[in-house]
Amino acid sequence: MLPKFRLIILGAGFSKPAGFPIADELWKEIRSTALAYRPNERAYKFKKDLDEYIEFYNNADGKAISPDDVNFEKLMRFLDVEHYLGLRGGDTWSSDGNEGTIVTKYLIGKILARHVNSLVSIPDLYLEFARRLQPHDVILTFNYDTLLERALDAVGKPYRLFPKRFDRVSEYAGFGGDDRDEVVVLKMHGSIDWFDRTSFERRVDERKRQKVSPPTDVIFSDEKALNLERVVDGPRFENDPLKNVYRAKNLKALYDKKILFHATPRILAPSATKLLYANGLNNFWEGMRDAGYLNFGMAIIGFSLPDHDEYAKQILYRLVQNYQKNYWNSDEFEQKKSPLAIVDFFRDAASEAKFMERYRFVDWSRAYLSGDGFDAASLDRVFA
């Protein structure tokens, strides 16, 4: 069987059948948990950040809102702007964000890890999805959770979490090393089990210069218990943002530890301004403008183009155009493209119409749309 070189885009709706929360549900739990911190705890600053945003919104927009009315993504945008521009000066907490953002990223990790760890076994839907993937299929996922990785591990499907593998690299180019039969999974917004070792290595070097005992780290001093594994493999460029990033594969041990304000998962906050931080997180979008031309299968599962990911519309537009308008019905490569499979969930005709308007750039005569959510029936379309 010839490889299809599929291109599959995943959003929160992919993980929903496993009982994982979507954005509104996640925000509700984050808010209730964060507001329970006491005034003598540093995490209480989440409440102060929330109060400051509500004051800004009420006075600047002239509309009175309560904490229950706060839009999660707009709050995170407010905090991102404050942090990125360094408005707090010397009170800026860390490169990962100020306190409210750190609490949010930590709770995203803790909540999603709880859902992953609560699975006695990986649901058959995800195991079958993993089995049907072929070497060289590329998955672009906007999800923070590790459900897909768990499914791939469970069925023994080889995969990598970075675009290209090299045998050697020079100052300007990488060579070889990209010939393994594996699925490529790119976590565009990061992952709840990713942590950067760079700051720890700086502290190690500083202690060496001072000729004192080495430092300890809540993550990297517990490598065996957390089952740490480097995200990338082999030689890397010096400026590769993932060069020092590791996975903590033991999620239960990870979030049983008191990591808040000691280690922050490497994820982009769910903010409309997340692009401010995207290049520092990964380089996954580089060269992606040409994707879709020579892919012979394409699917979008559970990604409704939410407002806080408006930037993604520009990218998906290009991918869909490349896929549907080039080499369609061509036998030049001994196989033909399958209809673009789009899988989402619609409560009624109005929600379906709204969805189709957001995806108005799709040629529906060359696409299949399912509004029943991600389920076993949709797999045949995704892998047509």
The domain spans of the chain are 7-18+122-192+281-382
Is 369 in a helix, a strand, or coil?
strand
For residues 175 and 168, is the Cβ–Cβ distance under 8 A? yes
**Over the stretch 51-105, which tens digit does the pLDDT of each residue have?**
999 999 999 988 899 999 999 999 999 999 999 999 999 889 999 999 999 999 9
Q: Residue 171: what pLDDT?
A: 79
| Amino acid making up residue 137 | D
- Provide DSSP, 106-173: HHHHHHHHHHHHH-SS--HHHHHHHHH--TT-EEEE---S-HHHHHHHHHT--EESSS---SEE-SS-
Find tokens 């469970």 and name the residue.
154
Segment 112-128 mean pLDDT: 98
pLDDT by residue (tens digit) across 211-222?
999 999 999 999
CA-CA distance, 239 to 120, in Å (whole number)?
A: 40
Mean pLDDT is lowest, of 20-34, 124-138, 159-173, for 159-173
DSSP letters along 27-94, please? Answer: HHHHHHHHTTS-TTSGGGHHHHHHHHHHHHHHHHH-----GGG--HHHHHHHHHHHHHTTTTGGG--B
Between the two ends of the chain, the Cα-to-Cα distance in Å is 13
- List the one residue out of 308, 217, 297 whose CA is nearest residue 271: 308
Are 225 and 142 contacting, i.e. CB atoms less than 8 angstroms apart? Answer: no
- What does DSSP say about strands 7-10 and 138-141: parallel, antiparallel, or unpaired? parallel
Q: Are 292 and 330 in contact (CB under 8 A)?
A: no
Render pLDDT for 19-51 as a digit per residue (tens, 0 to 9). 999 999 999 999 999 999 999 999 999 999 999
